[in-house]
Amino acid sequence: MGKIGVLKRIAVILAIILVVLYFIWIIFQATINDVKTETASMKTVSDTIDTVGYFIRNEQFVTQKDKGFVSFTVDNGGKVGKNEAVANIFANAEEATNKLLMDRLHAELTALEQLEQSSDSLSATPDLLDKQIDTQLASVNVNLVKGDFGAVSGDVNSVLYTLNERQIVTGTVVSFSDKIKELKNRITELEQKSSIASTGKQATAPAAGYFTSTIDGYENVIPADSISELKPGDLNMEKISKSVPPDNAIGRIMTGVNWYIACQITSEEALQIQKENLPLKVQIPSVSNQEIDVSIESVNQESTGADAVVILRGSYMDSDIIDLRYENISIVIHSYKGIYIPKTAVHEVSCTFLPTGDEQETKTKEALGVYIRVGNEIQFKRIIEIYTGDNYVIAEPFEISLPSIEEDYDQLMLNDEIVVEGVNLYHGKIIKPKGTSI
């Protein structure tokens, strides 16, 4: 009996071990059949040089010859001609406000009179006018984001005009004669209580260029005609002394169309910029995510192994660019747009490449690619790298002619489900369907 009892205990222990091993096997199979995926999507990355940019321009002050309240007629970043008015000078703020109100009322009056005269010949349908209004409102939003408030004002006037036209077309309003009469009376009332019609005092631009009402004391502290002589040690705001603007200065003009950015870079970065010899772009994070086109004016470098000053030339202008002095910037050497893939998802698979040209035999070598999930099957798809980052690669996003191979491996495409986590992966592997449990 003793031996039988021992045998029973051994049998029980073996049975328990077999059950445990069975469950371990099931869990293992579930684990190796479980994968995590990400959808293949487009992304743009840039190869950049991060540095500090010093903005350099040719500038002249706009001065106020007559005393009074200044009301600017040109937005910051606006283009002006020589002797063009950039501001009206009023006796006080009330007159300035009245003038702005009168200008708005005159614009509204002109639009309504135009609609009144052409009301019998209007042919646009309500649906067409609705589409125009949507487009005009979209333009308002775009220009608000850009900070182009002059354009916003024009867009708003366009929206109001189209809304009024729609009222006539749909019969909501038969005539604007009462509104026109009201506007004329309001304009007359403003003219009678103000002397603005006879003042005629203005501040004008001393030269053609771009206007801004901002004065900061850094005007021409780095002369634009000396940029070819700048050295790395010259680009230090602590060493740059501010200028003293005239007492009657109310703004400034950036003359010409070009402005410059001076940046200190390393010898390796200087070599990279000169080697590429391509049009560049700059990003100014403090302003926007927009990339601005620039070109290389010069690279000032005393010797091949020394740090350098690169001078970039640009011509794009807006209300932000006109006032920049020194900012953190990124010089964009290249931009790459393609399918974003985590590096952990990239694999090499041995493939048999078919002969090409004068070749007679097949060649076995590694092909780069990723595993994707199609239903409950794993497939291998080839990729062509166009950029490699620290922990990702960017792959060619469009189907192109790949070297022919014996294996049935397609090229990775957008919206494929890339396997980013998984074990024992191979082409044709069957895995558990999504949503199933052990």
What tens digit of pLDDT does each residue of 220-258 get?
Answer: 999 999 999 999 888 887 778 888 899 999 999 999 899
Distances (CA, A) of 421 to 30, 140, 373, 386, 424: 14, 46, 11, 23, 11
Q: How far apart are CA 159 and CA 248, in angstroms?
A: 39
Q: How many helices (H) and strands (E) does the chain have?
A: 7, 20
Confidence band for 342, pLDDT divided at 50, 70 and 90: very high
Q: How far apart are CA 177 and CA 112, in angstroms?
A: 9
As given in the structure block, the two tokens for residue 71 are 């009301």
30: pLDDT strictly greater than 50: no
> What is the number of other CB atoms lying within 10 angstroms of the CB of residue 284?
20
User: 249: Cβ–Cβ under 8 A, 6 or more apart, which residues?
Assistant: 61, 62, 63, 64, 215
Of 137-141, 223-227, 262-266, 298-302, which range is least confident? 137-141
As given in the structure block, the two tokens for residue 433 are 């369907």
State the pLDDT at residue 433: 64
Taking residues 24-40, report their average pLDDT: 65
State the pLDDT at residue 175: 73
Q: How far apart are CA 370 and CA 349, in angstroms?
A: 9
Taking residues 118-125, report their average pLDDT: 70
Confidence band for 187, pLDDT divided at 50, 70 and 90: confident
Helix, strand, coil % over all residues of the chain, rounded to 5: 35, 30, 35
Task: Name the helix (H) or strand (E) containing 365.
Answer: strand 363-374
33: pLDDT strictly greater than 70: no
26: pLDDT strictly greater than 60: no
State the pLDDT at residue 197: 46
* CA 152 remoteness from chain centre: 20
Put simply, whether the predicted model's pTM sits higher than 0.75 gets the answer no
Angle, helices 149-169/93-118, rounded to nearest 10 degrees: 40
State the pLDDT at residue 10: 67
Distances (CA, A) of 10 to 18, 68, 297, 401, 413: 12, 108, 88, 65, 57
393: pLDDT strictly greater than 70: yes
State the pLDDT at residue 230: 92
Q: How far apart are CA 419 and CA 398, in angstroms?
A: 20
